[in-house]
Structure 1
C-alpha cells in the first residue's frame, strides 16, 4: 500500500554519536513545515535533543536492555559489579557498515570489549527502541485515532554511503517492525537542505559577524556540508523555478566527523600512559573510560577560537593507579619526560593542557574538510556556488566554522539555528514531501554483462565465443547509467537495446553490474561487482534473429534501483529490484 498523504511523519536520525526522533502531523506541516516536535532526553542533570547511540544487549545476544544514556549508566553499573563480561555494549557503531566493503546480512560487528553480534541485530534493536519510544511518548495522541498506514517513517543515512549500506539500514528497519511500504530513506544532506529552504538563515563572513540572509531563489547554487559525528557528507544543490531542487554534483565526503577529533584525543592519552595501560583501563574500568570521554565531549563543545587559557579535563583516578601499578612510576613525573612536558600537567585527578595543544586535536579533521571543499569548488560544474551551508553537530564547532570562512572568503558561510538538528527536522519535511528533490547525480556506473563482436588484438582471447551470429566477446560491461550522470528520480532512464545471439533461445538472463569506474571495459575489471540479474522469458523465436531485441532500462528512486527488460517484439516485460546485500 503506497502512502499519498500520511497523517503523521516520524523521522529517526540514526547518528554515529547521537540519535533521536522527531515528528509532525500533516496539518502542522501544511500550516508551518518547521513546526516539528523533537524528543528530549535526560542525561544526568541535562536535557538533550539527542541520546548517545549506545546499545546494551543482554547476554542472550538478542534482547535489548537499554539505549542511550540509560544504556551507558546501566553498563557502568554492571562493570562496577563485575557482571558485564557476558553483556554486549555497542557504541559509535554506525560507521562499521560504511567501512565494511563486503557488507551482508550476516556481517558481524564488535562491541566495546571485542565480542561480536550480527550487525543487523544491533541496528534493528536500536531502531526498534526509537520506534517503540515514539509510540509510547505519543500513545495518548495517536491511540485509537491512527492506523499503521497513517504513519510514515523516515530514516536518515549519509549520502556518501554505498547502495549496500543504504539497503542494510532499510533491512534493519523492517526487521525492527517498520513495514517497508511505510518507510522512506532520506539522504542526510538532502534532508538538511529541505529544512534550510524554510528557515531564516544566519550568514557568517570575514567582514560581518552575522545577519539574516534570504536565499533559495531560482538558480541559487549552494553547498551543503553535513559534518556529523562520523561522516562529513557534502552535496551541491541548485534551486529550480518550481521551488524544487536538483543535485549538481554527486554526494561526496569522508569519515572526518567529530569522532576524528575523539580519536586524536584517544591517541594523546595513549601517548601519555602507553597502549598496554590504556587497553587495561578500557577493559577493567569501562565506566571510567566512558566518563573520561564524556568530560572530553563537554570541553570539545566549549572550545573557543583564540582562547589561550589552560584546558582542564577530569581524569579518572583509576587510570592513574593502573599506570602506577603497571609501570611502577608516577604519571605526574613520567609526563615530564615526554614531548608534552611543557604543555601538560596532572594535579590530583585533573589533567591540564594549554589551549593550543587542545586545538590540535581538531586540526586534522578541519584540514581534511576544508581541503576537500576546496577540491570540489575547482570543479567547473560548480561555478557560481554562492554559499556553504554548514549543518550537523560538528558544524557547530567554532574552529571548523572559522576555518571554512577563512578558506573561502568569497563564499558566504551559512549556519542555520540548531545546526545539529537540521538533518532530523529536514527528514520530517522529506517524509511529507519527497518530491522537492527531483534530480541526483549518479555516484556509480551501472550496466549489464553483454557481448560485442570479437576483435582480435583488442579483446581478451579467453572471452571469445562462437555463436549463431559469429564470434563474440563476452563479459563486456555495457553501460546503462554512468557515474556523474544526472538522473531524474522515479523516471525511467533511456533504454539500451540489445540483440540476441542464439536462434532457439526463448529466455535470456541479463546480469546487472555496478562499478566505481566511469567506463569499465569488462565486468571482471577491478571495482566491478555483480548486483543481480533480470530475466526476460517468452521471447518469440519465430522473429528473425537480427530483429530480436531486448530493451533494458533503470529507474532510480529513494534507495532502490529497478531494472526492467522488455522484449521489443512482444512487449513482454520483466523487472527486478536490485539486491545490494550479499
Structure 2
C-alpha cells in the first residue's frame, strides 16, 4: 500500500453498523505489515454468517438486553407470551441519520412507538459490538486493552456533517475515545479493499484484466449498494497508487430495504392491510419467519431457472384471513390482482416477474444515477464499475447493471461484496492517507461583516458598528463545491473581534457555518444557503482579551473537517470544535 501508515496501537478494529446487518473485523499491525489482507472477521454462532441483523432489544428499564439474532428471537418469544410490552425493540434504524434536521436530542421510535434518544440507541449497538470484539480479540491474544486499538466506524459517503458528528458522539458514549476513532466512508473503504484483493477472488473476469484496472491513471466508479443506501463515488489511481476522488460522493436511499418495503405492500394487497397489521402485531415470530424467508429468496432471485419463488405462509396468517375476511388463501388470491399465484399446502408459488417488480423502481434509480455520473466530462473515460455491498450480491441487481453498462466497460463484483466495506475499513485504519484527494460536496463558508461598498452590497445589509458602515451576512467562502481538496489541505480566514463587555469574557463564542450548492454565494441568507452548525471557540482560562485578531483554519480533504483558531498577536491557539448537531 503506497501510503503513510498509522502506527498508533497494536491493531485496528472496524465496526460496520449497517441498516439491515452489522458486524466487525480487525487485524494486527504486524500482520498488516506482512500481508494487508490478513483480516479477522467474526462468525456469529449458529448462523454461519459474518454479520448479524441490526436489531436491538432493551429491557423495560432501558438497559441493554441483546442484539442481532438473539434480540429478534427473544423479542418474538416475549411477544408470544404477551410479555413484550414495555420492552424496547429497534430494527433498521440507521436510515434516520440520513434525514435532515438531525440533533443531539433526536429520538427514535421502537416497534411499539415508544421513543428513546437516538444517540443512546446507537451507543448501545456500538458498545455491544465493541465489547464482543474485545472479547474475541482477548480469546486470541490476552491482555489487549482499549488503548492498544485504533477504531474505525463506517459511514455512508452521502451522509452530511451532522450525521458523522452524531456517529462520533454515539461512539464516544460507548467508550471509544475520539482520538482513537476514525470514520471511514463506505465506498472508499470498499475501493481500498478491492484494490488489494487477490485476482482469483474477483468474479467473471481474467487476472490480466484485474491487474490493469488498478494501474496508475485508471478511473473506476464504486457503487456501494447496501441495505439502506446506494452510495457512489469515482476514484482514479494516482502515480503513487494512492487514490484520488474525481466525483463527489452521491447517491440516494435505494437499498435492499426498499425491496422489503415493496414486499410488505404486496402482502397488504394480497391479504388486506387490516389482516397484515394484526398479523405483524400479534404474531411477531411468524412475521419474522416470513420476512426471513423472503430475504433468503430475494438474495437468490434470478439465480435458478425455475422461474418462480416459493414462500411458506404461516398458519396464523391464513387463520386471520379466514376470521377477518372469511376467505381461504386460494380465494384471497382469486380476489387479488395476482391471479397467477399457485397454492400448494401452506406455500405460495410466485412467478419471478412478480418479485422482480419489487426491484424495478430501485434499480431504475440506481441505473439512472450511474448514467448521470458517467455524463460528467471528468467521468466519461471510466472503464469499470465496481459493485460492492450486500445488495450487490443479488443476481438480479448484478444482471441489471451488467445489461446496461457491460458493453462499454467492465462490471466487477468481488465474491465477498458484502464484506468489502468492513474489510476495507480495517485497511483504511492502518493507512488513512490512501485517499489523497477528495471532491468537495458543497461550498463551505462562515458569516462575516465587511466594509460596506456602495453599489456592490445590498443596502438592506448595511449596519453601523462603532461608527463604521459594514455589510452583514457576507458568505466568507473557504472551499467551493466541486473543488479537488488534498488530504489535510488547510484554508484560512482572518477575523477581528472585541470582548470589552465583562459578560462576554468567559462565554463560548460561536461562528456560524454555512453551505451552498452554488459556487459563489454572496450572502448567507441567500435561498441556496443553509446554516449547518457552528464553530465553537472556548475562551482561555483567564477569559478573552479585549480584542482578538485571529485566524480560523479549516482543514479539508479528510472524512471529517477539522478546525483551528489562532490569535495572530500572541500566536496562541484557542480551543475550538465543530458543532453540527445544535
**Kept in 2: contact 1:228–1:394 (CA 8 A):** yes
Structure 2 residue aligned with 1:187, among 176, 185, 198? 185
Unaligned stretches of 5+ in structure 1?
Answer: 542-547
1:375 aligns with 2:375: no
The DSSP-based 3-state class of the residue aligned with 1:479 is: strand
Please give the per-residue CA displacement for 1:180-234, whole angstroms capped at 9, x wherever unaligned. 22111111111111111111357999xxx53232121111111111101111110
Please give the per-residue CA displacement for 1:510-536, whole angstroms capped at 9, x wherever unaligned. 623122422333223444115113559
Compared CA separation, residues 520 and 539, structure 1 to 2 (3 A): farther
1:79 aligns with 2:76: no
Q: Which residue of 2 aligns with 1:142?
A: 141
Compared CA separation, residues 42 and 534, structure 1 to 2 (3 A): closer
Please give the per-residue CA displacement for 1:248-300, whole angstroms capped at 9, x wherever unaligned. 11110111111111111111111112222211111111111111110001101
Which piece of structure 1 moves more, 572-581 or 408-417? 572-581
> Please, what TM-score do these two structures have when normalized by structure 1?
0.90
Where do residues 231-270 of structure 1 align in structure 2 (5 Å cutoff)?
A: 231-270=229-268
Q: Which residue of 2 aligns with 1:52?
A: 53
Please give the per-residue CA displacement for 1:472-508, whole angstroms capped at 9, x wherever unaligned. 2211221111222222222322x3345x598989999
The DSSP-based 3-state class of the residue aligned with 2:444 is: strand
Distance apart, 1:112 and its partner CA: 2.1
Distance, in Å, in 2 between the alignment partners of 1:287 and 1:149 is: 41
Q: Which residue of 1 aligns with 2:327?
A: 329
**Kept in 2: contact 1:563–1:575 (CA 8 A):** no
Please give the per-residue CA displacement for 1:340-360, whole angstroms capped at 9, x wherever unaligned. 12x223443212211111111
Distance, in Å, in 2 between the alignment partners of 1:395 and 1:516 is: 33
Where do residues 36-435 of structure 1 align in structure 2 (5 Å cutoff)?
A: 36-43=39-46, 46-61=47-62, 63-99=63-99, 101-144=100-143, 146-201=144-199, 209-212=204-207, 213-214=210-211, 215-304=213-302, 307=305, 309-341=307-339, 343-408=340-405, 409-435=407-433
1:576 aligns with 2:576: yes
Distance apart, 1:383 and its partner CA: 2.8
Distance, in Å, in 1 between the alignment partners of 2:139 and 2:580 is: 40
The DSSP-based 3-state class of the residue aligned with 1:267 is: helix
Q: Which residue of 2 aligns with 1:555?
A: 555
**Kept in 2: contact 1:203–1:415 (CA 8 A):** no
Distance, in Å, in 2 between the alignment partners of 1:539 and 1:137 is: 52
Distance, in Å, in 2 between the alignment partners of 1:18 and 1:186 is: 17
The DSSP-based 3-state class of the residue aligned with 1:72 is: helix
**Kept in 2: contact 1:539–1:570 (CA 8 A):** no
Distance apart, 1:126 and its partner CA: 0.9
Distance apart, 1:364 and its partner CA: 1.3
Q: Which 4+ runs in 1 deviate beyond 6 A? A: 202-205, 501-508, 536-541
Distance apart, 1:179 and its partner CA: 1.9
Distance apart, 1:177 and its partner CA: 1.3
Distance, in Å, in 1 between the alignment partners of 2:136 and 2:118 is: 27
Distance apart, 1:330 and its partner CA: 2.7
Distance apart, 1:440 and its partner CA: 1.2
Distance, in Å, in 2 between the alignment partners of 1:180 and 1:553 is: 20
Q: Which residue of 2 aligns with 1:31?
A: 34
Structure 2 residue aligned with 1:17, among 9, 15, 20? 20
Count of residues in Structure 1 that have an aligned counterpart in Structure 2: 564
Where do residues 431-580 of structure 1 align in structure 2 (5 Å cutoff)?
A: 431-454=429-452, 459-468=457-466, 470-493=468-491, 495-497=492-494, 500=496, 511-518=511-518, 519-526=520-527, 527-533=529-535, 535=537, 550-556=550-556, 558-568=558-568, 571-574=571-574, 576-580=576-580
**Kept in 2: contact 1:562–1:575 (CA 8 A):** no
**Kept in 1: contact 2:6–2:429 (CA 8 A):** no
Distance apart, 1:165 and its partner CA: 0.8
The DSSP-based 3-state class of the residue aligned with 1:434 is: coil
Compared CA separation, residues 202 and 259, structure 1 to 2 (3 A): farther
The DSSP-based 3-state class of the residue aligned with 1:197 is: helix
> Please, what TM-score do these two structures have when normalized by structure 2?
0.90
Which piece of structure 1 moves more, 481-490 or 118-127? 481-490
For the aligned residue pairs, the C-alpha RMSD in angstroms reads 2.7
Distance, in Å, in 1 between the alignment partners of 2:145 and 2:51 is: 27
Compared CA separation, residues 310 and 552, structure 1 to 2 (3 A): same
Distance, in Å, in 2 between the alignment partners of 1:325 and 1:114 is: 27
Compared CA separation, residues 509 and 88, structure 1 to 2 (3 A): closer
Q: Which residue of 2 aligns with 1:545?
A: none
Distance, in Å, in 1 between the alignment partners of 2:419 and 2:118 is: 26
The DSSP-based 3-state class of the residue aligned with 2:245 is: strand
Distance, in Å, in 1 between the alignment partners of 2:498 and 2:72 is: 64
Compared CA separation, residues 147 and 200, structure 1 to 2 (3 A): closer
Q: Which residue of 2 aligns with 1:544?
A: none
Distance apart, 1:538 and its partner CA: 6.7
Unaligned stretches of 5+ in structure 2?
Answer: none
